[in-house]
Amino acid sequence: MPAILIGIVPIYNLPGVAGELRLTGAVLADVFLGHVKTWNSPSIAKLNPQLSLPELPIKVVYRPAGKGSNYVFSEFLSKNSAAFKTQIGISPSPQWPVGSAAARSSDMAEKVSSEPGSIGFVEAQYAIKLNIPQAAVLNLAGHFVKASEKTLAAACQAVEAPGFDRLSASLTNAPGGESYPITSFSWLYLRRASSDVRRAAALADLLNWVFTSGQQIAVQEGYSALPPPLVAKVKIKIDSLR
């Protein structure tokens, strides 16, 4: 069952560049494939005529194998680039052709912050809390959107409404003008039944906290809470665990 909403954001380090950097899924795919090598490349400059982009090599930073952020980011890139889908595909362990690895999210944030010309991807709360520039990403409606509590909720709403019972495996490239296009649920994986009644009851109590007070704590930590209609459907599933 979904627990919270997360956004995977492209973060970057461009000294002396003031203003909002705009990127598309197709351009991001070309960057992480190693096809776009400098920050003033025509494909990036075309999206950012308002910026004075430097002739600076792009230093790609990626996550190592087995990471959920890899899966979400590679899914988004695969939806926006046939070349990326063919060469890399959707995976928690992509074989990135260029760049260097950052073991943890905090390592990714630190590496991008300290390396001029670098670009990486990380959960939105790291970029927001550490004040690392994040790019605005083009969504299906043709709008450049940054990750926020509002835009993550908009993506979920666009996919799940009106029934809020699909519990969709994917929220990337959600329709809607305000939807952030690299949105995902963070999931809890649970047994459908337990032979230990006390353990099942304790788990249900914990989950009820997660989907009440815990949602607000998640928001304080930089995540986005699930929409109330979806929480109601999740609580029905929780009751079935008792």
Residue 119 confidence (pLDDT) above 90: yes
* Cβ within 8 Å of residue 208, ≥6 positions away: 235, 238
Helix (H, G, I), strand (E, B) or coil at 213: helix
Q: What does the block give as tokens for 21?
A: 């950097």
Residue 242: its pLDDT value, please? Answer: 66
User: Which domains, ranges and CATH numbers included, belong to the chain?
Assistant: 2-138 (3.40.190.10)
SS3 content of the chain, % helix, strand, coil (to 5): 40, 15, 45
H/E segment holding residue 218: helix 213-220
pLDDT attached to residue 190? 87
Using the structure block, give the residue that is written with the tokens 């304790």. 202
How many whole angstroms separate alpha carbon 213 and alpha carbon 217? 7
- Read off the pLDDT of residues 33-64 as tens digits, 9 standing for 90 and up: 999 999 999 999 999 999 999 999 999 999 99
pTM, to two decimals: 0.93
Phi-psi group of 94: left, alpha or beta (phi > 0 → left; psi -120 to 50 → alpha; rest → beta): beta
Render pLDDT for 199-237 as a digit per residue (tens, 0 to 9): 888 988 999 999 999 999 988 888 899 999 999 998 888
The C-alpha atoms of residue 131 and residue 127 are separated, in whole angstroms, by 6
pLDDT band at 240 (very low <50, low <70, confident <90, very high): confident
Residue with structure tokens 């052709």? 97
